[in-house]
Amino acid sequence: MRRLGHGGMGTVYLGRDPNLDRQVAVKVLREPLADDELLQRFLREARATANLRHENLVTIYEVDQHDHQPFIAMEYVDGTTLAEVIKRRQQLLLAQKCSFVEQICAGLHHAHRVGIVHRDIKPANVMVDAQG
């Protein structure tokens, strides 16, 4: 697996689902959760998130653990992070910038309606694909 990035919560790798022959992003938590209560809470929250379906949210395919090491297998988005777009000082029309904000808000609104709060919204956690 190729590492795509890492952040506060864990590391994301590019993998392949052998059963469906598709690329997936696999997020592995930084530290194994030795505390069973924390592990169960993580798995519960991840499973709730897996039920979300929205065009502005990645689809979660699987949530599980291996030797108390939780992981999330999710849709792979072929693109770049909004952080990279900002860092490159890529020229964007005001309409494109507004579209990014609208799409982020639409995804968050969908999650909020079912009681899920993303606690780490930042440009590094927003993907921009070829369609914007």
Query: Where does residue 27 rank: exposed (0-12), middle (13-18), buried (19+ CB within 10 A)?
Result: buried
Cα(104)–Cα(12) distance, integer angstroms: 21
CB atoms within 10 A of CB 55: 9
The question of whether 120 is a catalytic residue gets the answer: yes
**Kind plus residue range of the DSSP H or E element containing 109:** helix 94-113
The active-site residue out of 36, 67, 120, 129 is 120
Q: Which residues are catalytic?
A: 120
